[in-house]
Structure 1
């Protein structure tokens, strides 16, 4: 038998459990928004959650398409949140069954993300420094960010949260804290190493407190650089190089993955470096499958250039 419950209280309980499971704040907010919207739909129809059927889900998602012209990917995200919430409620015996289990949207094929060729990336990364001293310092920081994004396929949040203690210059390895607070170790190339070391010479001039827990990338006042600031600086440096591309951190991550795979064919190594928990996520780049990590990086990445 299902228990008597208030849907909003139930949602709060579910979100609390997801938070304990180290779901990111961004994901939790999306879950709360999507499930709350569905619960409001049920309340408007005077429909108890325990009485929801597949036809109700179809009506709800159809109304979202009609009123908001949502994309298939947005609908999949909403359905996924509702399905997970109701599965949890079923397991807790708040629901007798999960109607979302029987409802599937037709999946759209995942397009390969936008790409930039290697020559264009070299043009951005190897552009001359500005003439003004203040802008030169900005460029050294931005170049280090760009090199790490492309050298190691980091996410925006990962490069933004990078700490001094995460850098191992001797072995050219980074300790990355990714989604769900999962830690992984990834290599970075000599070009990236040189760029970061040059930036760290400027670091104390910007009131940077050079301690293990300090952020690697900071503002001129010594504060951690924000995610939006990083995005803006990446765009600016592409423009300064005369490249007609809307450059953003995630695009550099896509380029890293594609260029590594095209030169190595080592899907599992790239999966590990990207921090993908599921191999199918990495397979949007290729269908080839091989094995090993740092050796592949040395041989394949266009800017690794390690000293043998």
Structure 2
């Protein structure tokens, strides 16, 4: 069967209305909207290619079940499958509420249980290496002129290196999501209290602290290096890319992925690993669970409780290694 280029307007137009509703009335983030769009387009494409491209009202329970069987045959991950089912169920619930369908064809769809994986957590020694401040090498006086020229030519690279230190320090110091980090403006920083004003998921604002090491690299970045990279298009953005505008999520992810890979002894691979790590370290240090929930901006305490399992696992491991009758 010939594949089309995409779902027709019969399906894509109500999906567009639904996404607009999520953005305007529910305050969903751009990342969430993109995920919903991809998942609903997947269903729309299937209906177009395999079910005769029905209008929304003519979509049946069997069509949706056939789509679900198609997903299973595609051997996608449990997480992706659960997300797609959730997106479709929420969409049809909205459509029913707004009388776009007479009955909900996705009502009885059951999502698979998500795999509950414990997050990768860096050890304190790994964090120290990741955030270590390398000392500048001592140069031979006879090569001073050559070194001066090299420094002039490499000033942009030094600025980028300083910015990357800010990224790593702030992700660990404040447990920010990567999207929250790149959205920070200089005005969001209170240096007197050493806090950040963060706009999190659902446009919920919170204030989180950061420590003296992060303060040092932020001040160094703002005073000496940011102006080397920033152009007028950066506005008040704290972090900027090499082209001078606000740093985006993809670029920031690459910075952390490269830094973690350079450690050579961890399977942690992305910025969320630092968020997991600071949460676990706080709980290991005796922080209150609800305080950590507020710190991370979790809507549900159950999400924060995942990190207690990491701490308990560490306790069990230490117990087996140290207790004479373990």
Q: Which residue of 2 aligns with 1:34?
A: 39
Corresponding residue to 1:88 among 77, 86, 94: 94
TM-score, reference length from structure 1: 0.81
Higher CA-based Rg: 2
Match of 1:13 in 2: 17
1:179 aligns to 2:192 (yes or no): no
Whether 2:30 is the aligned partner of 1:25: answer: yes
What is the CA distance between 1:243 and its match in structure 2? 5.3
Contact kept in structure 2, 1:129 and 1:139, CA below 8 Å? no
Distance change (3 Å), C-alpha of 1:269 and 1:72: same
Match of 1:102 among 97, 108, 129: 108
Alignment of 1:142-291 (within 5 A): 142-203=164-225, 205-206=227-228, 208=230, 214-219=236-241, 222-238=244-260, 247-286=269-308
Long gaps (5+) in structure 2: 1-8, 138-149, 311-326
Deviation of 1:219 after TM superposition, in Å, equals 3.6
Indicate which of 49, 54, 64 corresponds to 1:57. 64
**How many correspondences in the alignment?**
283
What do you get for the CA RMSD once the two structures are aligned? 2.9
Distance 1:199 1:49, change over 3 A: same
Paired residues of 1:116 and 1:255 also in contact (CA < 8 A): yes
Cα deviations by residue, 1:214-243 (Å, 9 ceiling, x for unpaired): 111124554322323222322344455665
Q: Which runs of 5+ in 1 are unaligned?
A: 289-308
Structure 2 residue matching 1:184: 3-state secondary structure: strand
CA distance in 2, matches of 1:215, 1:234: 19
Structure 1 segments (4+ residues) deviating >6 Å = none
CA contact (8 A) 2:10 2:55 kept: no
**TM-score, normalised with respect to structure 2:** 0.76
Cα offset for 1:199?
1.8
